């Protein structure tokens, strides 16, 4: 209550955190301030948003390629916007293709790990090793985090294999791998 009018205080909370409304600090913030919630867009709305941004830059993109961009670069709009701009500037034709996205868009480590495990499942060990070497060269990613993501992806593949073998169904796989 003693923050001057010319100042703005901002509290940023993780997306999965829900403040306890019974606490006096939460009550005070809600009484004296304003709560603004930024939520993630659903896949359909996000794909439409990506397509519109490419159109505004004079480029087209297939819905499948827009979904691929979201998969490899993440679903946060503030991270997608620079990737959209890079891809639009890089693309030679009227439409942005998957090859354009692969050439210039930032790939999240999780997406690269997914690609690496796909290479392993195809027994393309050289391709998997090349992706691993690329991940290890990223200065902003620790090897432990990369190992954790690889472990998670391998657990998901194992869960899918067990579900297929035991005829547990698609719902079991979706719940286990979420």
pLDDT in tens, 108-144: 877 888 888 888 888 999 998 998 888 888 776 678 8
pLDDT for residue 98: 92
Instruction: Tell me the CA distances in angstroms from 71 to 49, 65, 66, 89, one per residue in order.
Output: 14, 10, 9, 20
pLDDT for residue 87: 94
Yes or no: say if 173 and 163 are a contact pair by the CB < 8 Å rule: yes
Higher pLDDT, 83 or 178: 83
Query: Which residues, 6+ apart, have CB-to-CB distance to 15 below 8 Å?
Result: 39, 40
**Residue range 69-80, pLDDT digits in tens:** 998 888 888 889
Reference 42, options 70, 18, 69; nearest CA is 70
pLDDT for residue 20: 84
pTM, two decimal places: 0.64
The H-assigned helical ranges of 33-76 are 43-56, 63-73
Question: In this model, does residue 146 exceed pLDDT 70?
Answer: yes
**Residue range 47-61, pLDDT digits in tens:** 999 999 999 999 999
109-121 helix and 63-73 helix, angle to the nearest 10 degrees:
110
**SS percent in the chain: helix, strand, coil, step 5:** 65, 0, 35
Yes or no: say if 68 and 61 are a contact pair by the CB < 8 Å rule: no
Question: In this model, does residue 30 exceed pLDDT 80?
Answer: yes
DSSP element (H, E) containing 144: helix 143-165
Mean pLDDT rounded to a whole number for the chain: 85
Spatial distance between the Cα atoms of 87 and 59, rounded to a whole number of angstroms:
9
């Amino acid at each position: 209550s003693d923050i001057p009018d010319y100042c703005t205080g901002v509290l940023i909370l993780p997306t999965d955190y829900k403040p306890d409304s019974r606490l006096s600090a939460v009550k005070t913030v809600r009484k004296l301030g304003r709560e603004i919630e930024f939520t993630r867009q659903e896949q359909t709305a996000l794909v439409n948003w990506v397509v519109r941004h490419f159109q505004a830059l004079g480029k087209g993109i297939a819905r499948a390629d827009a979904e691929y961009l979201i998969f490899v670069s993440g679903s946060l709009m503030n991270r997608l916007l620079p990737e959209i701009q890079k891809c639009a500037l890089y693309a030679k034709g009227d439409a942005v293709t998957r090859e354009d996205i692969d050439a210039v868009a930032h790939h999240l480590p999780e997406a690269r790990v997914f690609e690496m495990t796909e290479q392993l499942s195809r027994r393309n060990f050289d391709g998997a090793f090349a992706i691993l070497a690329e991940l290890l060269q990223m200065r902003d990613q620790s090897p432990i985090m990369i190992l954790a993501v690889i472990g998670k992806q391998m657990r998901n593949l194992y869960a899918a294999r067990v579900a297929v073998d035991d005829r547990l169904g698609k719902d079991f796989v979706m719940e286990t791998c979420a």
